[in-house]
Amino acid sequence: MAVKLNNFSFQSLPSVALLPARAQRSPKFSITSTIYSSSKGKAMSSGRAGEANVNVVRPMLPPKNDEIFKSMEDWVRSDILILLKPVEKSWQPHDFLPNPTSDGFIEQVNELRERAKDIPDDYFVVLVGDMIVEEALPSYHTLLGSSNIFYDETGCDNTPWATWARGWSAEENRHGDLLNKYLFLSGRVEMKQIEKTTQYLIGSGTDFGPRTSPSYLTIYTSFQERATFISHANTAKLAMKYGDKKLAQICGTIAADEKRHETAYTKIAGKFFELDPNEAIIAFSDLLRRKVSMPGHLMYDGNDENLFYHFSNVCSRIGVYTARDYVTILEHFVGTWNVEKLSGLSSEGREAQDYVGGLVQRLRSLEERAQARAKKAPAVPFSWISGREV
């Protein structure tokens, strides 16, 4: 298949051609960071929305491959669907928030606001960005449901694949809900600006990459779930440090869901490594060459044309998600899927294996520079916190 390379360098640590929402309004491009990473790049050549973020176009399987997915259905039922929690056993946002039907509601809200009062602005910027990424769930669900693996023709198909995608979305939906309600009650942020950002982001969509490749899609989602697990776990730790145990519990509870989801996607991707190691390693390499970008990378608030880049810098600066985390995640998956021991590969597969196997060391050597860059990045105003600079 055609390999289309856009005009950018792969040299810097987790930098990726990301297309801010503004690129849909203007021909200018910029390179910003990947999942919460920290390096700002140089201007790119022009193109259309979606183009810059897809530098490798290589469908690994025909658009539909029903037999493979069909043959895996029993395994999905027995090994994957058990990783969804029944609704009756699931937590709900209400469990962590003041109860509006109780007499003590106003006092509970005041206590929440009192606890939030002294938490620094940079923490709130990160929490808002995390929440907005969660709130753009409709885009992610659409992408899964229209992929050939999680395909959901009617919207209520009873295949285990479609059941997983809907169950996963239903669990994820609580994350944005909980953070949104918490932030609303905290009184620390500009809700209208946040709501605008969410609307822009859902309107812009997101770009997972080739959905015809089950390996690509599930490797991406494994990576992304582990990244969100790490970032929510770190916001929990910071909340503890700031003395807000209840907020720590909120973030920690969301992190635990992400971990469970990571387990599911990692198992599915692992299955593709077993079934077709050649296809899987080429997909992994394509994803990494393209860089793994956060699904919220098109975020825009109507003001800041580099909002995701600025948000990523703050994440890095306060230690919620850093260049080191990116490399550590990569290292984890290289080990989990036994990348270095895959055998029987084609020459293209072996080349991909060498690329992926050597990437951890290469990125490790650049990691400190990337973190230093994020630390040195100047403070910028965020509309989410009334234009204050962090």
Residue partners of 103: CB distance under 8 A and separation at least 6? none
Pair 307, 381: CB distance under 8 Å: no
Exactly one of 51, 122, 135, 225 is catalytic; which is it? 225
User: Looking at 171, 172, 177, 279, which residue binds Fe ion (CB under 5 A)?
Assistant: 172
16 three-state secondary structure: strand
Pattern 120-149, binding to Fe ion, x per CB under 5 A? --------------x---------------
Q: What is the DSSP string of 331-369?
A: HHHHHHTTGGG--S--HHHHHHHHHHHHHHHHHHHHHHH
Stretch of residues binding Fe ion (CB under 5 A), selected from 186-194, 206-214, 251-259, 338-346: 251-259
Minimum distance from residue 224 beta carbon to Fe ion (Å): 7
When asked if residue 279 is in the footprint of Fe ion (CB under 5 A), the reply is no
Stretch of residues binding Fe ion (CB under 5 A), selected from 103-111, 250-258, 301-309, 380-388: 250-258
When asked if residue 175 is in the footprint of Fe ion (CB under 5 A), the reply is yes
**In 3D, which of 294, 322, 323 has the Cα closest to residue 307?**
294
279 is catalytic: no
When asked if residue 258 is in the footprint of Fe ion (CB under 5 A), the reply is yes
Minimum distance from residue 261 beta carbon to Fe ion (Å): 5
Stretch of residues binding Fe ion (CB under 5 A), selected from 95-103, 228-236, 315-323, 362-370: 228-236
257 is catalytic: yes
Exactly one of 32, 212, 221, 261 is catalytic; which is it? 261
Residue partners of 251: CB distance under 8 A and separation at least 6? 232, 233, 235, 236, 239
Minimum distance from residue 169 beta carbon to Fe ion (Å): 10
How many whole angstroms separate alpha carbon 61 and alpha carbon 152? 18
How many whole angstroms separate alpha carbon 60 and alpha carbon 68? 13
Residue partners of 195: CB distance under 8 A and separation at least 6? none
225 is catalytic: yes
How many whole angstroms separate alpha carbon 133 and alpha carbon 149? 23
Stretch of residues binding Fe ion (CB under 5 A), selected from 5-13, 19-27, 222-230, 328-336: 222-230
**In 3D, which of 198, 188, 172 has the Cα closest to residue 93?**
172
32 is catalytic: no
Q: Which residues participate in catalysis according to the annotation?
A: 91, 134, 172, 175, 225, 228, 257-258, 261
Q: Given the rule CB under 5 A, which residues bind Fe ion?
A: 134, 172, 175, 225, 228, 258, 261
